[in-house]
Amino acid sequence: MVRDTLARPLGSLRISVTDRCNLRCRYCMPEHDYIWLPRESILTFEETARLARVFVSLGVTKLRLTGGEPLLRHDLPTLTAMLAAIPEVQDLAMTTNGLLLAPQAGALRLAGLRRVTVSLDTLRPERMRELARSDRHADVVAGIRAARAAGFAPVKLNTVVIRGVNDDELADLVEFGRAEGGGAEVRFIEYMDVGGATGWSAAQVVSRREMLEGLARRYGAIEAVLGGDGAAPAERFRLSDGTTFGIIASTTAPFCRACDRSRLTADGTWFLCLYAAQGVDLREPLRSGASDGELAALITRSWIARTDRGAEERLSVAQRGALYQIDALRADPRREMHTRGG
């Protein structure tokens, strides 16, 4: 197993299949126009699957399809099947905004997708219009239900909590999960100052502590669910009636020490940290004839030198504001969360 300078294994790879998205969430893509990756730079399914096989040969066991919005990539079940066919892959998941999920959930399940996470920041359609510039809230809910019907159990729901925007909906979202009969579990994510979050400010971050205090006022004692995957970002909690939910405290209590994740952009740039300024270009060697062994050597060399603790380092920034302003994002779109894959 390949380990970095902090003994973190190369365990999990997030594969962004497109930088395009059909939402404009204010915490991720708040601008009106973007510089997109050139079409010819986007990896084909064969190229993506080949890189995935090389990563798996070095110890990766968990793959997650993401984007942008992964379901905007035509024929995603075909890529899913190619990845599911890699024998050592133990977990194959996808993060989606759910808009296009209902018609594809069954095909994705059949293709071998194991788990689905759907972003659901609000239960109020009018709020989604403001938060994500979309009036398709009903499609997201239909997507969640279709995923459950297709056998994804439970469907995880990601909610980015922003003060003054949706922090009054935490209990409603827990109730939504509960009403789905335990078939959906919400995970509240602290608002992060990732590239793309140009409107970020510390004042808008609702901390894990505040979330737990607010939910305890409503539900009484909340207990931590012990155990689970040490490298997984969400901490899970249980209400007295057994309902569970998660919190990803990536801003106030980052978990860099256990981070085994890296990210491959749709154009084949590999980022070893969500906050990293530079990535490793895998497309160029891939397209100029590198062997699997040469690609594996490049990946190994990069990983064993990895020192990144991006989220922890952000904690020590005195005047913390947005990571990048818009000009810096335009200069290199790979700095965007929607390009490197959430």
197 binds ligand SAM (CB under 6 A): yes
Q: Which of 2, 10, 13, 28 binds ligand SAM (CB under 6 A)?
A: 28
Give the pairing of strands 184-190 and 223-224: unpaired
**Contact between 102 and 139 (Cβ < 8 Å):** yes
- The CA distances from residue 77 to 22, 73, 125, 143, 197, in Å, are 19, 10, 29, 16, 30
CA-CA distances (angstroms) from residue 124 to 131, 135, 172, 305? Answer: 10, 10, 10, 46
Minimum Å gap between C-beta 27 and ligand SAM is 4
Is residue 337 involved in binding ligand SAM (CB under 6 A)? yes
- Least Cα distance to 222 among 158, 279, 171, 160 occurs for 171
In this chain, which stretch among 35-43, 122-130, 187-195, 224-232 interacts with ligand SAM, using CB under 6 A?
187-195
Q: Candidates 94-102, 220-228, 256-264, 302-310: pick the segment binding ligand SAM (CB under 6 A).
A: 94-102
User: Looking at beta carbons only, is 69 or 267 nearer to ligand SAM?
Assistant: 69
**CB of residue 285 to ligand SAM, shortest distance in Å:** 27
Q: Angle at the Cα of 85 (from 81 to 87), degrees rounded to 5?
A: 150
| Choices 226-234, 266-274, 313-321, 334-342 (CB under 6 A): range interacting with ligand SAM | 334-342
| From 170, 192, 249, 298, residue interacting with ligand SAM (rule: CB under 6 A) | 192
> For residues 21 and 184, which CB has a smaller minimum distance to ligand SAM in the complex?
21
268 binds ligand SAM (CB under 6 A): no
Residue 189 contacts ligand SAM per CB under 6 A = yes
173 part of the interface to ligand SAM, by CB under 6 A? no
For residue 270, give the H/E element and its range: strand 269-271
Structure token digits, residue 81: 């099947």
State the Cα–Cα distance between residues 187 and 220, nearest whole angstrom.
Answer: 19
Q: CA 275, 277, 278 angle in degrees (round to 5)?
A: 120
Q: Which stretch binds ligand SAM (CB under 6 A): 21-29, 51-59, 135-143, 319-327?
A: 21-29
The minimum distance between CB 107 and ligand SAM, in angstroms, equals 18
- 265 contacts ligand SAM (rule: CB under 6 A): no
- Please, what's the b/e burial string for 126-135 (b: 16 or more CB within 10 A of its CB; e: otherwise)? ebbeebbebe
Q: Which of 285, 290, 283 is nearest to 334 (CA)?
A: 283
Asked if 134 is part of the footprint of ligand SAM (rule: CB under 6 A), the reply reads no
Does 188 help bind ligand SAM (rule: CB under 6 A)? no
Interaction of residue 108 with ligand SAM, rule CB under 6 A? no
State which residue, 55 or 191, has the beta carbon closest to ligand SAM.
191
The reply to whether 160 sits near ligand SAM by the rule CB under 6 A is yes
Q: How far is it, in rounded angstroms, from Cα 93 to Cα 62?
A: 8
Q: Does 97 bind ligand SAM (CB under 6 A)?
A: yes
Point out which residues bind ligand SAM (CB under 6 A).
21, 27-28, 66-67, 69, 95-97, 119, 158, 160, 189, 191-192, 194, 197, 337-338, 342
